[in-house]
Amino acid sequence: MSDKSILVTGGGSGIGRAASLVFAREGGRVLVADLYLERASETAELIREAGGVALAVRTDVSREDDVRAMVDLAVAELGQLDCAFNNAGIGTAATESTNTRIVDMRQEAWDRTLAVNLTSVWHCMRAEIPHMVERGGAIVNTASIAARGALAGSAAYVASKHGVAGLTKSAAIEYAEDGVRVNAVAPGHIETPLLEQALARRGGELSPRNPVRRFGRAEEIAETVVWLCSDRSSFTTGELVTIDGGRLARA
């Protein structure tokens, strides 16, 4: 990542914060974007304390104007845009739709979930790709193991993550000849604020349900994300990389 400029959305916590720190550790300059500026600023400060270069910005990724301003800031302040990790997203708790079946789901919950988890990725790539087509670049989007199956009572979340997977593959095909690689990661249960919310709803009872018999760490996802953005993965595009401790490998 030496001399590369990177944009990370949802960088104020969880996988986004971990990825921002790894990008910086590998020599990248990072713009940390998050809906909560205080969290983004905390991540940026951690990077600067370690000797790296980082900026923070408040961004609502569901708003096209916010996204374009974020990308313009990255280019203006960091000089270019080499990589983007479109990671911001929400779970069912954010829309009070946990364990809600399709016919019982509120329109507002459906719209908000797709706006933050899927439409935001479209907004981001529309703003990011034009800055990459002439010099090349790499994009990684955050999907989920829910993009490879389904979860009862989480239709909007599942649909949004399936959408991210399809959008990623479409972008990879359309911009391969322009030197832009686009991939996605599909994390399983990872120790993040979203998992903490799920544990709280279940009274602390949530089994890892994978052969490794533990939850994943945000840093483990981050390492894969940074590899996908690096030249070491130069022949990898259009992939949905599952990182779930072997959960989906079970018959």
DSSP symbols for the chain: -TT-EEEEETTTSHHHHHHHHHHHHTT-EEEEEESSHHHHHHHHHHHHHTT-EEEEEE--TTSHHHHHHHHHHHHHHHSS--EEEE-----GGGGT-TTB-GGG--HHHHHHHHIIIIIHHHHHHHHHGGGTTTT-EEEEEE--GGGGS--TTBHHHHHHHHHHHHHHHHHHHHHGGGTEEEEEEEE-SEESHHHHHHHHHTTT-----STT-S-EEHHHHHHHHHHHHSGGGTT--S-EEEESTTGGG--
Per the CB < 8 A criterion, the answer to whether 7 and 71 are in contact is yes
Question: How many beta carbons lie within 10 A of that of residue 187, not counting itself?
Answer: 26
Residue 25 phi, psi (nearest 5): -60, -35
Model pLDDT, residue 210: 86
| Residues contacting residue 104 through CB under 8 Å, at least 6 positions apart | none
- Mean pLDDT, the chain cut into blocks of 10 residues (251 residues total): 96 97 98 98 98 98 98 97 98 92 97 98 98 96 96 95 98 98 95 70 65 92 98 98 92 64
Any domain includes 251:
no
Using DSSP bridges, classify how beta strands 29-34 and 240-243 pair: parallel, antiparallel or unpaired.
unpaired
Q: Provide the CATH number for the domain around residue 55.
A: 3.40.50.720
Any domain includes 250:
no
Length of the chain: 251
Establish whether 36 is a catalytic residue: no
Any domain includes 82:
yes
Q: Which two tokens stand for residue 151?
A: 């979860």
Any domain includes 200:
yes
Q: Which two tokens stand for residue 37?
A: 């500026």
Question: What distances in angstroms separate CA 130 from CA 26, 29, 108, one per listed residue?
Answer: 25, 19, 32
Per the CB < 8 A criterion, the answer to whether 188 and 243 are in contact is yes
Query: Of 40, 69, 55, 58, which Cα lies nearest the Cα of 127?
Result: 69
Whole-structure pTM value: 0.94
Compute the Cα dihedral for 67, 195, 138, 30 and give only its sign: positive
Model pLDDT, residue 199: 62
Number of structural domains in the chain: 1
Q: Which of 23, 85, 110, 157 is catalytic?
A: 157
Any domain includes 20:
yes
What is the domain extent for residue 219? 5-245
Model pLDDT, residue 203: 55
